[in-house]
């Protein structure tokens, strides 16, 4: 999305304005927002993208210089590519650039370690169903009990089907 004022730079600040009982959102680039006297740091933090880009630009000062020349051995992306686009090239980039990314994640999320569900199963290389795992069935049974307790019968039926195993 382009800045509504200059029409050239990417809009990273999304300002909510209220006038005549109507809410409007004005999309501005960081420079035009600053020209209008808005504190871009605060405004940018209202959107993940705005906050992300602000953090990313500040990372230029902090990222280890060797990261700029290092390239991901799997996809070939460099950290400079990430700086430009905000997008990584492949899963291996997280390992290749783990140093500066850890710092970025600390700033973005206030944490660097995953605390959610852990992925436990993957298919074999041939793409076939994986070997039986102890957890999924137990988890499905718990989910089924919860769905029934919540009277979510549509989901309960699907959980029951899932517990019965693959259809083919």
Partner 1 sequence: MIDLRLIPDGGPGWLDASGPENHLVLCTRIRLARNLDGLPFGTRNSPDERERLLDDVLRAAERTSGLAGATTWRLDRLDLSDRHLLHERHLVSSELAGLDPSRPVVSGAACLWQGGVGVMVNEEDHLRLQGFRSGLDLDAVYRATDLLDDELGQRLPFAFHPEFGYLTTCPTNVGTGLRASVLIHLPALVLTKEIAKVLQGLAQVGLTFRGWYGEGSEVVGNFFQLSNQTTLGKSERDLLDHLGMMVRQVIAYEEQARQVLMREAPAVVEDKVWRAYGLLRYARTLSFDETMNLLSGVRLGVGLGLIEPVGLYALNKLLIYSQPAHLAALEGVPLDDPGLAVRRARYVRSVLDAEADRHRGGPSARMEGNG
Q: Which residues are at the interface with partner 1 (CB under 8 A)?
A: 1, 11, 14, 16, 18, 21-25, 27, 45-49, 51-52, 74-75, 77, 85-91, 94-95, 101, 104-105, 108-119, 121-123, 127, 129-130, 133, 136, 139-140, 143, 146-147, 150, 152, 154-155, 158-159, 161-162, 166-168
Kindly state the smallest distance separating residue 35's Cβ from partner 1, in Å: 21
Of the pair 61, 167, the CB lying nearest partner 1 is at 167
To which residue do tokens 């298919």 refer? 123
In this structure, are residues 163 and 140 in contact, taking their beta carbons and an 8 Å threshold?
Answer: yes
In this structure, are residues 12 and 26 in contact, taking their beta carbons and an 8 Å threshold?
Answer: no
Of the pair 35, 106, the CB lying nearest partner 1 is at 106
The 10 Å Cβ neighbour count of residue 128 is 8
Collapsing DSSP to helix, strand or coil, 129 comes out as: coil
Cα–Cα distance, 101 to 79 (Å, whole number):
10
Of the pair 61, 154, the CB lying nearest partner 1 is at 154
Kindly state the smallest distance separating residue 25's Cβ from partner 1, in Å: 5
The end-to-end CA distance of the chain, in Å, is: 45
């Amino acid at each position: 999305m382009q800045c509504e004022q200059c029409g050239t730079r990417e809009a990273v600040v999304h300002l909510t304005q209220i006038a005549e009982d109507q809410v409007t959102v004005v999309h501005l680039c960081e420079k035009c927002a600053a020209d209008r006297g808005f504190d871009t740091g605060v405004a940018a933090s209202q959107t993940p993208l705005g906050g992300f880009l602000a953090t990313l630009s500040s990372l230029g000062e902090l990222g280890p210089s060797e990261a700029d020349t290092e390239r991901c051995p799997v996809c070939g992306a460099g950290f400079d590519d990430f700086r430009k686009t905000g997008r990584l090239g492949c899963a291996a980039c997280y390992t290749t650039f783990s140093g500066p990314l850890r710092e970025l994640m600390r700033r973005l999320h206030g944490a660097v370690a995953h605390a959610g569900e852990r992925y436990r199963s993957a298919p074999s290389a041939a793409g076939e169903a994986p070997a039986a795992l102890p957890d999924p069935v137990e988890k499905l049974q718990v989910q089924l009990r919860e769905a029934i307790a919540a009277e979510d019968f549509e989901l309960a039926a699907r959980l029951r089907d899932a517990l019965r195993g693959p259809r083919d």
